[in-house]
């Protein structure tokens, strides 16, 4: 048995738009995801998150599922437009009441809440009126929204995450347009990323000055990064893999831990990469109490060959990724999930070491890890040994990292239950519980029991 530290955090994660439904109930205003999914052609099979898991109405039952697994922690996000329907102005009391009830229900079961303030569902009004994250004023609006959350929930929340995966907001939302707001540009991702970082810095400053002293919680940001393994040992390919990681994770973590964007980005992007003001720099420095990491997969990286330049390949090369000059590929021997993502536990371990070294040994929390499979409901259950093995092998790699000195504090499975998987709609199932979207019923998969055992043992075989 590989036993984890006694205070290790075991959790699962979800996000508001993916599970809540009730898109126009309880005083909620529309978000960019409501508009995006209701636009024909954007989402697989025309699915929307209008109802999805109906968690808004089935919240107590979902907390009971968590309790049955023995979860220590639950990561969820607040829908900004449930709290402030147009993103600013009057607070919607019904929205406050919903998350208050959720927090009270979690407390009843001794499940510690980890709350994400922004998991991609921007109030639509802010997109239409201000151009969303392109607008420098967004930092003020986000900070005001964050303040409302700290004021109303901070007595019961000790773990805050400002943003989930700013990389996805920048790249998928503003470069390839696969995600809301669906913009396609080679310039905007860098501008959007800059405003997201500034907004993070502002919110953290407010928390630290006005709330942290009394409430005593922690605040951080969650970034996503897959591992990039050099395709060969050549110096060019090693440099390409390093560059890929700096453009992926360094883009968002360097300004917080090292004071500016990676030098390689400055060199290659020139004045396409914005500058931080002294004030921004001051607010960003050390602005994460923990290193939140979402990690799913691994790819090989090599220097991009001349004939690939400008061509669109399946991994998103072409357009913005030419800035990196990196070509990505799979190894045929790697198992893949139904997203087509490779399952490579040692990639997770290598990434943990990379973070540990580059950012001087920060406390790390894996705020998402999981896989989508072709799950089928048979006799009220789902046999998903591959998911159980995925979790077990990734945790085993995490344990090896801890043994080697990495300060890994917690692990959250993505996700509690099958839900609305963004552009893939309901066609991809990541849950520890199977959701029957026709009836709204949930069924524990075998992996839920496997994860419950890991939690009970505080370790993996
Ligand atoms: C993450 C995201 C989640 C979830 C997961 C699986 O990037 O934060 O919302 O969808 O990927 O694709």
At 305, the pLDDT band (50, 70, 90 cuts) reads confident
Closest CA to 15 of 78, 65, 87, 60: 78
- Closest ligand 1 atom to Cα of 421: 10
Does residue 229 carry a pLDDT above 60?
A: yes
CB of 418 sitting under 6 A from ligand 1: no
**DSSP SS3 for 369:** strand
At 311, the pLDDT band (50, 70, 90 cuts) reads low
Does residue 317 carry a pLDDT above 50?
A: no
pLDDT in tens, 73-96: 999 999 999 999 999 999 999 999
DSSP secondary structure letters along 89-114: SS--HHHHHHHHHHHHHHHHTTPEEE
Closest CA to 188 of 131, 105, 110: 131
Going by alpha carbons, the residue nearest to atom 10 of ligand 1 is 421
CB of 121 sitting under 6 A from ligand 1: no
Output the CA 337–ligand 1 centroid distance in Å. 14
The count of domains in the chain is 1
pLDDT at res. 173: 96
What's the CATH code of the domain at 334? 3.20.20.80
**Minimum mean pLDDT among 87-101, 116-130, 142-156, 293-307: which range?**
293-307
CB of 422 sitting under 6 A from ligand 1: yes
Output the CA 78–ligand 1 centroid distance in Å. 15
- Closest ligand 1 atom to Cα of 422: 10
Does residue 188 carry a pLDDT above 90?
A: yes
Output the CA 210–ligand 1 centroid distance in Å. 31
Does residue 310 carry a pLDDT above 80?
A: no
CB of 368 sitting under 6 A from ligand 1: yes
Q: What are the tokens at 411?
A: 């692990």
Does 368 qualify as catalytic in the annotation?
Answer: yes
Q: What are the tokens at 178?
A: 């696969």
- Closest ligand 1 atom to Cα of 424: 12
Does residue 315 carry a pLDDT above 60?
A: no
Q: Is 144 exposed, middle or buried (0-12, 13-18, 19+ CB in 10 A)?
A: middle
CB of 165 sitting under 6 A from ligand 1: yes
**What range defines the domain where residue 339 resides?**
2-460
pLDDT at res. 320: 73
pLDDT at res. 283: 98
Does residue 362 carry a pLDDT above 90?
A: yes
Does residue 436 carry a pLDDT above 80?
A: yes
pLDDT at res. 306: 73
Q: Model pTM?
A: 0.98
C-alpha angle 95/162/224, rounded to 5°? 120
CB of 369 sitting under 6 A from ligand 1: no
Measured in whole angstroms, how far is the alpha carbon of residue 118 from the centre of its chain? 10
Pocket test for ligand 1, best of 116, 414, 419, 430 (most atoms within 8 A of CB): 414
Pocket test for ligand 1, best of 33, 44, 221, 422 (most atoms within 8 A of CB): 422
CB of 430 sitting under 6 A from ligand 1: yes
383-387 mean pLDDT: 98
pLDDT in tens, 331-356: 999 999 999 999 999 999 999 999 99
Does 25 qualify as catalytic in the annotation?
Answer: no
pLDDT at res. 322: 79
> Out of 20, 165, 188, 303, which one is annotated catalytic?
165
136-157 mean pLDDT: 98
pLDDT in tens, 13-55: 999 999 999 999 999 999 999 999 999 999 999 999 999 999 9
Output the CA 182–ligand 1 centroid distance in Å. 17
Closest CA to 350 of 425, 295, 427: 295
CB of 34 sitting under 6 A from ligand 1: no
């Amino acid at each position: 048995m590989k036993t984890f530290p006694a205070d290790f955090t075991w959790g699962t994660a979800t996000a508001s738009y993916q599970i809540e439904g009730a898109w126009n109930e309880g005083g909620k205003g529309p978000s960019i995801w409501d508009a995006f999914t209701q636009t024909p052609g954007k989402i697989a099979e025309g699915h929307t998150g209008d109802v999805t898991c109906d968690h808004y109405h089935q919240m107590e039952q979902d907390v009971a599922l968590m309790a049955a697994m023995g979860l220590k922690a639950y990561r969820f996000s607040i829908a900004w437009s449930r709290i402030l329907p147009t993103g600013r102005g009057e607070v919607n009391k019904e929205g406050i009441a919903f998350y208050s009830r959720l927090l009270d229900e979690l407390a009843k079961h001794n499940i510690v809440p980890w709350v994400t303030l922004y998991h991609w569902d921007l109030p639509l009004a802010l997109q239409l009126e201000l151009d969303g994250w392109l607008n420098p004023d967004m930092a003020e609006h986000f900070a005001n929204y964050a303040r409302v959350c700290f004021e109303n929930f901070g007595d019961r929340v000790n773990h805050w995450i400002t943003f989930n995966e700013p990389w996805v907001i920048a790249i998928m939302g503003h470069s390839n347009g696969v995600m809301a707001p669906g913009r396609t540009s080679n310039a905007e991702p860098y501008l959007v990323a800059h405003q997201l970082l500034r907004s993070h810095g502002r919110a953290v400053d407010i928390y630290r000055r006005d709330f942290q002293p009394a409430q005593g919680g922690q605040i951080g940001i969650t970034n996503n990064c897959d591992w990039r393994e050099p395709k060969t040992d050549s110096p060019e390919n090693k440099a390409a893999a390093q560059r890929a990681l700096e453009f992926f994770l360094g883009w968002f973590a360097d300004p917080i831990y090292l004071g500016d964007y990676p030098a390689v980005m400055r060199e290659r992007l020139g004045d396409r990469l914005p500058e931080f003001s002294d004030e921004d720099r001051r607010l960003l420095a050390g602005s994460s109490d923990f290193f939140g990491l979402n990690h799913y997969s691994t790819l090989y990286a090599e220097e991009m060959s001349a004939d690939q330049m400008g061509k669109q390949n399946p991994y998103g090369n072409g357009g913005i990724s030419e800035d990196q000059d990196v070509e990505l590929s799979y190894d045929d021997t790697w198992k893949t999930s139904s997203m087509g993502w490779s399952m490579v536990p040692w990639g997770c371990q290598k990434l943990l070491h990379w973070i540990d070294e580059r950012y001087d040994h920060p406390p790390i929390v894996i705020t998402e890890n999981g896989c989508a499979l072709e799950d089928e409901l048979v006799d009220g259950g789902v046999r998903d040994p591959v998911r159980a093995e995925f979790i077990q092998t990734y945790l085993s790699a995490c344990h090896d990292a801890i043994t080697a000195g990495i300060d890994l504090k917690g692990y959250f499975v993505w996700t509690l239950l099958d839900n609305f998987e963004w552009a893939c709609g309901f066609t991809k199932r990541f849950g520890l519980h199977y959701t029957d979207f026709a009836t709204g019923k949930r069924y524990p998969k075998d992996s839920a029991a496997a994860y419950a055992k890991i939690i009970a043992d505080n370790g993996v075989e």
